[in-house]
Amino acid sequence: MCNVMPLLAYFSRMEVVGGAVLSALLEPLVGKLSSGELMKFARKKDVEEELKKWTSRLFEINAVLRDAEQKQITSLAVKSWLSKLRDLAYDVEDVLDEFQTEALASKFKSESGVNTSTTLRLIPTCFAGLKPRVAMSNVKERSKLQKITVKLDEIVKEKNNLCLRINAGGRSAGHRRVTTSLVNESDVFGRESDKEAIVRLLMNIEASDSRLLFQQSSMNKSKYVMHALIADLARSVSQEICFNLDDSWKGGFIHEQTKLGSAKVRHSAFSCHRYDISKRFEVYNEMKSLRTFLALPISSSPENYFYHLSGKVLTELVHKLRRLRVLSLAGYSLVDLPSSICALKHLRYLNLSYTAITMLLKSLSELFNLQTLNLHGCSELVELPSDIGNLINLHYLDISDTNSLQEMPLQISKLTYLRLLPKFIVGQGNGLGIKELMKLSHLQGQLWIIGLQNVVNVRDAELSGLHEKLGLDELALEWIDNFQVSRNGGDELHVLSSLQPHRSLEKLSIISYGGTVFPSWVGDPLFTKMVDLQLCSCRKITSLPPLGKLLVLRHLSIKGMDEVKEVAVEDFPSLETLIIEDMLGWEQWSWPNGINEDVGKFPKLRELTLGNCPVLIEKLPSHLLSLQKLDVYNCPRVTCLPEMLPCLRELNVGECQEEIFRSVPVLTSLRCLKIRRISGLVSFREAFLQALVELQDLKMEDCNELECLWQDGSNLNKLTNLKHLRIYYCEQLVSLIKGEEGFLPCNLEVLQVIGCHNLEKLPNGLHSLKSLRELEICKCPKLVSFSERAGLPDTLKRLEINECVSLEYLPEGLMTMTDENNSNQYLLEELWILECPSLKSFPRGKVPTTLKSLYIWGCLNIKSLPKGIMSNDTKGMCFSHLEDLSVDSLSLTSFPDGEFPTSLKTLHIFNYNAEQFPSLSSLSNLTYLNISNCPELESFPERGLHLQNLASFTIWDCDKLRSLPSHMDKLTFLQDLSIQNCHCLTSLSESGLPPNLTSLTMRNCKNLTQPLSGWRLRSLSSLKHLEFGGTSPCTDVDFFPDDDGLFLPSSLTSLWITNHKNMKSISRGIHKLTSIEELRIGSCPKLQFLPDERFPATLGRLLIRSCPLLEQQCSKEKGDYWPIIAPIPYVEIDGYFLPYLKER
C-alpha cells in the first residue's frame, strides 16, 4: 500500500495552477517537436515548416513561464494568458499525438512486408482515416495546423504586452525526455521534486488501489467516499480542467453553470452508482477535449459487487470523446465493449477490472498507444485478442484473478515492453510456448506460470530466461493438479530445473509438480532475499529439500506432499509462520543427528498450523518460545503439545485424540482456546484446567463424547480469567458440571450452550456467577427446567432461551420480588424466550424495571405475559422502562391490565386472538408498530392512533380488519406504511393517508373498493416507494398507471406492480414519473404491452418476472421492446440479467 500523505502535503502547498501545469506540459511538447522520426513524417505530410514555427514559438513562450507563474497570483491578465496557453498546449499535444500515431501506422505498413493492397487490409479499422481514399486532404490538414500557429502568434503577442521577464539562467525547454509513464507527466502540477513524487504515487495508486484516496463512508461501512481534504484540495487546484461529476450531479440534474465550462475540461472522475443512468453522463457530450474518464468503484469488495452502467453511455458517448487517454470502467457489469472504443487512438490506459467481460474486441488490438490494460478480477474472461501483439507500447497487462482464462494468444510474446504480466499460460500443442517468455525481458513484480505440463521440450524451458528477469519479485510455477494421468516425473524435474529464477526472488510457489525430488536450486542459500516459500500439491515428492539455509525466510507453507515421510527440524532463524497441511504420508519429524532437541530452531516462529496429517505420530517441536498461535486439526496420532509455549495466545485443536491434553505445560499467555471434535474427551482433567491460567475464551464444538466439562469439586482457581464459555453441539453433554454444586469459573461473563441435545440440567452454581452478563441456551430439547437451586445472578443483562421444546419452567428468581420476606433487584435488560412450546407461565414476581427488550415467540402454551410490563398501579405511574416488546404465537386472549409503558419504542404483535388491543394512546415514544396475523382484530379505537413519533406501521394478515385507524392524516412522522392480506378492508382512511409517507405497500387486499383516485397518492410529495400488488375491485385495471399520470406522485423512485391478473399494459403515464429509478413487474400473466416510447431517463433498474407474454418481446436485439429496455443499466427478466438474455 502506498502512502497518500505525500499527495496531501503536495496539494496543501499548491496555491496556483496555470504555470505549474505548463512547465510540465510545454517541455515534453518541444521534445516531441525535436523528434527526428516525427519531423521525417511531417516532411511527408508537407507540414514540416508549420511545426518548426511551433517549436520557435514554444521556446519563446517557455522562456518567460517562470515569471508568469509568479505574477499570476497578483495579475488577472497573466492568469488569463496562462489559461489560454494551457488550452492551446493541450491542442498542440493532441495534434502531435495524432501525427505520432499516424507515423506508427505507417511504420506498421512498411514493416508488414506485403503488397499495398494486402497492407491496406491489415491496417486497423480505427486508422481507416489514414487510407488514401478517405485520408484528410493536405490542404485541410495544413489549415488545421495554421489555425494553431495563428493562436500561438496571438499568445506570443499578448505575452509581449505583459512585460514578462525571461527566465534567469536561460532555462531550456528541450532537456526533458518524452515520458511514457502511466500517469502523464504533463498532467501533474508543481515543483520538480514534488511532481516526480506525485507521478510515482499516482502510478502506484492505479497499480494497487484507488481507494487510497477515499475514506470509509459513515453511512455505509461497505462503501467509501472521497476524503474531504483530498476533495477540497483537488477542487482548489483544478477548477477549469478537472471535473468531479459527484460534485455536480445533484438530485438527478447537472447544474447549468457546470455545462458552460465543460468545453475546457480535460480530466474527470466520478464514483460509480449502483445503477448509472445515461442522463447522469450527458454533461460529457460537450467535453470534446476530455482526456481522463475515470470510474471509481467504491465498494470495499468490488469482486462481489457489480455496478451497472447504461449501455447508451458507451454506445453514444465514447465515440465523441476521441481524445481520451485514460478510460476506466472498473466495476461495471460490462459483458462486451462497443466497437467505437477502437476510435480512441490516443488511449494509454484502459481499466476493465472487475467487469463481467467475457472476451475483448479484436479491434482492441488496434489501440497502438495503449500502455496499460487492466483486466484484474474479470472472472468471466475466456479469451484475449489474437492480434494483441499489435499493442507494441503495452507496458502493463494485468490478468490476475481471471480464472476462466485458460489460454493466451501466441502474439503475447510480441509485447516486448511488458513490465507487468501476472499470469502466463503455457498452451498445448501449437499454443503459446514457455520459450516465448524469453522475449518478455522487462517483466517485473509477480509472474504466475500455469500449464507447465504442456512443456514438451525441456530446452524451451531453458530458453524462457527466468534467471535473467531481475525485476520479478514473486514467481509461481504450476502444473495440472491431476495425478491420475500418466506423467513423466523425470521430464518435470528437468523442466523445473530449467526454470530457476534469479537469486533475488522474494516469493516462490511450486504447485502440483510431478517429480519425486526438487532440483537443487529449491532451498539454495544463494537465494538471499527469499522470504516466502510455498510447496503445494506436489504429490510424488518423497523428501523435502533443506530449507533452513534460506536465512531470511519468514513464511513457509508445505501442503499435499502425500509421499513425504519425514520433515526435518532445521534452523529457521527468521521463520514467522509455518503451515503444514494435507500430508497424508507424513509420519514424523526428523531431528539433527537423531537427537530430539529443537532449542533455538524456530526463534521467531509466531504461527504454526498442522492440519490433516493423519499418520503423524511423533510429538511436535518442543521449544517454540515465540509462538502466539497454534492450530492442530485432524492429526489424531499427535498425543502432546510442545513443552515450551510461553507466548502462546491462541490454541485451536480439532479432530484429535483426548491424549493431546494430558501433558500440557502451563500456558501463561493463552487467551483463547477452541476445541472441536476431540475423540475420547469425556471431561477435562484437573491438571489441564490448572494450566489455563490466563484463559479468557473457551469454545467447544462437536465433541460428541463429552458428558461434562469437569467433575464437581475440581480446583478452578486457575480459571479466574475465563470470561466467555461457549459449548456448541456436544451431543452427549448431560450437564455442564458433574456433581451437586456445579461451580463454574467465578468471573464468567458470557455462557452459551447450543445444540446439546442430551443436556438435562444447568448447574446450581449459576446463581453465584456475579459477573455473568449474558446467558444463552438454545436447541437443548431435553432441558425440562432449571434445577431448584439454579437461580440466576442478579448481574445478568441478557437471557435467551431458544428451541428448548421440553422446558416447562423458568428459574425462580428471574422476576423481581418485593414482598416482605423476599426482596431482590435484577439488572436484566433483554429477555428472549423463543420456540419453547412446553413453557406454560412465567415465575412469580414482576419483570425487572431495568428490562428494555422482551421477545416471546412460539410459546404456544403461555396464556399470560409476565407482570410488570404494563402501567397499572393506582397512581397511573409506570416503573417499567421497556422499549421493545414482541409477542408471537402465544395463547394470549388479552394483555395484562393497564396501558403499555410510555417508554415503548417498538411493538410487534403476531398471532394474537383478541378483538381489541390495549390502548396505544400513551405511547408517545413509539416509532415502530407491527400487527400481523391477528385474525379476530376488526377495528382500531375510534379516536385513532395519536402516536406522534410513529415512523413505521405494518398490518399483515388481519382477515377481519374492516378499516384502518381514523385520522391517519395526523400521523405526520409516519414514513413507512405496509398493509397486506387484509381481506375485509374496503377502503383506506377517509381522512387521507399520512402526509409524509416515503414508502407505501398495499398487497392482496382483495375487497378494497375505494378507487385509486380516492387514495390521494399524488398529494404524497415525499413518497419514494410504492408497491401495488394483488387484484381487487379498485385495482382490477387493464393498464397502469393512468395515461395522464395523475394518480401517482412524481417523487416516486421505486414502483412495484405485482399479481394483477387482468393488467395488459404499462401505460404512457409512466413517463410522468420523472424521478423513477426502479420498476418491478411480476406475476401479471396478461401483460404484453410496454409504453411505445422509452422509459423515463431516470430508470436504472427494471425487473420483470412471470409475465410470459412480455418475455419474447424483450429478447436481446430481436424483441420489439429491446430498444426501449436496452438503455436501462440493469434489466432482469425471469432471473436473467440483460447481457445474458440472448443465451437463454
- What b/e string do you get for 559-598 counting C-beta neighbours within 10 Å, with b at 16 or more? bbbbebebbebbebeebbbbbbbbbebbbebebeeeeeeb
DSSP 256-291: HHHHHTGGG--EEEEEPPSEE-GGGGGGGGG-TT--
Task: Single out the residue of 961, 1075, 950, 1090 nearest to residue 1023, CA to CA.
Answer: 1075
- Give pLDDT, residue 1108: 92
Are the beta carbons of 874 and 844 closer than 8 angstroms? Answer: no
pLDDT over 90 (residue 822):
no
Least confident range of 309-313, 879-883, 946-950:
879-883
pLDDT at position 516, please?
96
H or E segment to which residue 1028 belongs = strand 1025-1029
* Cα separation of the two ends of the chain: 43
For 402-531, strand residue ranges (E) read: 423-425, 445-450, 472-478, 507-511
Q: Which of 77-81, 617-621, 655-659 has the lowest mean pLDDT?
A: 617-621
For 589, residues 6+ apart whose C-beta sits below 8 A from its C-beta are: 566, 567, 568, 569, 618, 620, 621
- pLDDT tens profile 119-150: 333 334 444 444 443 344 567 777 888 899 99
Structure confidence at residue 1044 (pLDDT): 83
- Proportion of the chain above pLDDT 70, given as a percent: 85
**Domains of the chain in sequence order:** 18-184 (no CATH), 240-421 (3.80.10.10)
Instruction: Read off the C-alpha cell for 880.
Output: 417499567
Residue 302 — pLDDT band, cuts 50, 70, 90? low
Alpha-carbon distance values, 330 to 305, 317, 376, 378 (Å): 11, 17, 9, 10
Residue from 315, 402, 387, 299 nearest 356 by CA: 402
Which grid coordinates are listed for 786?
432449571
The DSSP bridge pattern shows strands 349-351 and 1130-1133 to be unpaired
How far apart, in whole angstroms, are the C-alpha atoms of residue 327 and residue 336? 15
Residue 1103, strand partner residues: 1080, 1132
What is the pTM (predicted TM-score) of this model?
Answer: 0.86
Question: Cα(999)–Cα(1023) distance, rounded to whole angstroms?
Answer: 6
Verify cis geometry, omega within 30 degrees of 0, for the bond prior to 1129: no
Residue 475: per-residue pLDDT: 98
pLDDT computed for residue 17 by the predictor: 40
Across 1078-1115, b (16+ Cβ under 10 Å) vs e yields bbbbbebeebbbbbeebbbbbbbbbbbeebeebbebbe
CA 566 to chain centre: 42
Range 362-384 burial, b when 16+ CB lie within 10 A, else e: bbbbbbbbbbbbbbbbbeebeeb
| Reported confidence tier of residue 1043, pLDDT bands at 50, 70, 90 | confident
Q: Which range among 667-681, 983-997, 1038-1052 has the greatest average pLDDT?
A: 667-681
pLDDT over 90 at 372, yes or no: yes
pLDDT value, residue 315: 87
Cell, residue 1072: 410522468
Of the candidates 369, 336, 242, 352, the one whose C-alpha atom is nearest the C-alpha of residue 302 is 352
Are the C-beta atoms of residues 1023 and 997 closer than 8 Å to each other?
A: yes
pLDDT of res. 291: 93
For the ranges 557-561, 861-865, 1032-1036, 1073-1077, the maximum mean pLDDT occurs at 557-561
CA-wise closest residue to 266 among 293, 230, 248, 245: 293
At residue 1074, does pLDDT exceed 50? Answer: yes
Where residue 787 falls among pLDDT bands split at 50, 70, 90? low
The number of helix segments (H) and strand segments (E) in the chain equals: 18, 51
DSSP structure string for 298-354 = -BS-GGG--BEE-HHHHHHHGGG-TT-SEEE-TTB--SS--GGGGG-TT--EEE-TT
As a whole-number percent, the residues of the chain with pLDDT over 90 amount to: 51
What pLDDT does 761 receive? 85
173 pLDDT exceeds 60? no
The pLDDT value recorded for residue 130 is 40
CA distances from 1033 to 752, 952, 1029, 1088 (A): 53, 27, 12, 21
Single-letter residue type at 941? P
Closest CA to 406 of 428, 373, 430, 376: 428
Beta strand segments in 866-939, E: 884-888, 906-910, 928-932
Please answer whether residues 537 and 512 qualify as being in contact, where contact means their C-beta atoms are separated by less than 8 angstroms: yes
pLDDT digits (tens, 9 = 90+) for 592-646: 776 666 677 899 999 999 999 999 987 788 889 999 999 999 999 999 898 899 9
Can you tell me the mean pLDDT for 748-762?
94
CB of 510 closer than 8 Å to CB of 540: no
- pLDDT at position 51 over 70: yes
Distance CA 923, CA 903 (A): 7
Cell numbers 425487473 label which residue?
Answer: 1103
Are 601 and 626 contacting, i.e. CB atoms less than 8 angstroms apart? no
- For residue range 705-728, list pLDDT tens digits in order: 999 999 887 888 889 999 999 999
Does 251 score more than 80 pLDDT? no
Mean pLDDT rounded to a whole number for the chain: 84
Write the pLDDT tens digit of every residue in 395-441.
999 999 999 999 999 999 999 999 999 999 999 999 999 999 999 99
447 three-class SS: strand
If DSSP codes are grouped into helix, strand and coil, which group holds residue 624?
A: coil
Give the span between the Cα atoms of 449 and 433, in whole angstroms: 11
Burial class (CB in 10 A: 0-12, 13-18, 19+), 485: exposed
Q: What's the confidence (pLDDT) of residue 1098? A: 93
Q: What is the distance between the alpha carbons of residues 491 and 499, in angstroms, rounded to a whole number?
A: 13
Using alpha carbons, list the distances in angstroms from residue 637 to 120, 344, 620, 856, 1055: 74, 65, 11, 48, 63
Q: How far is CA 679 from CA 655, 703, 729, in A?
A: 7, 7, 14
Residue-wise over 150-169: b if at least 16 C-beta within 10 A, else e?
ebbeebbeebeeeebeebee
Cα–Cα distance between 610 and 443 in angstroms, integer? 36
Q: Of all helices (H) and strands (E), which one includes residue 631?
A: strand 629-633
Q: What is the pLDDT of residue 1139?
A: 65
* Amino acid 109: pLDDT: 66
- All residues at 6 or more sequence positions from 941 whose CB lies less than 8 Å from its CB, including other chains: 916, 919, 920, 921, 965
Range 770-793 average pLDDT:
86
pLDDT over 80 at 926, yes or no: yes
| 76/887 Cα distance (integer angstroms) | 72
Q: What is d(CA 533, CA 806) in angstroms, rounded to the nearest whole number? A: 55
Q: Are 598 and 577 in contact (CB under 8 A)?
A: no
Residue 559 pLDDT grade (very low, low, confident, very high; cuts 50, 70, 90): very high
User: Using CA atoms, how far apart are residues 984 and 993, in angstroms rounded to an integer?
Assistant: 19
pLDDT at residue 829 is higher than 60: yes
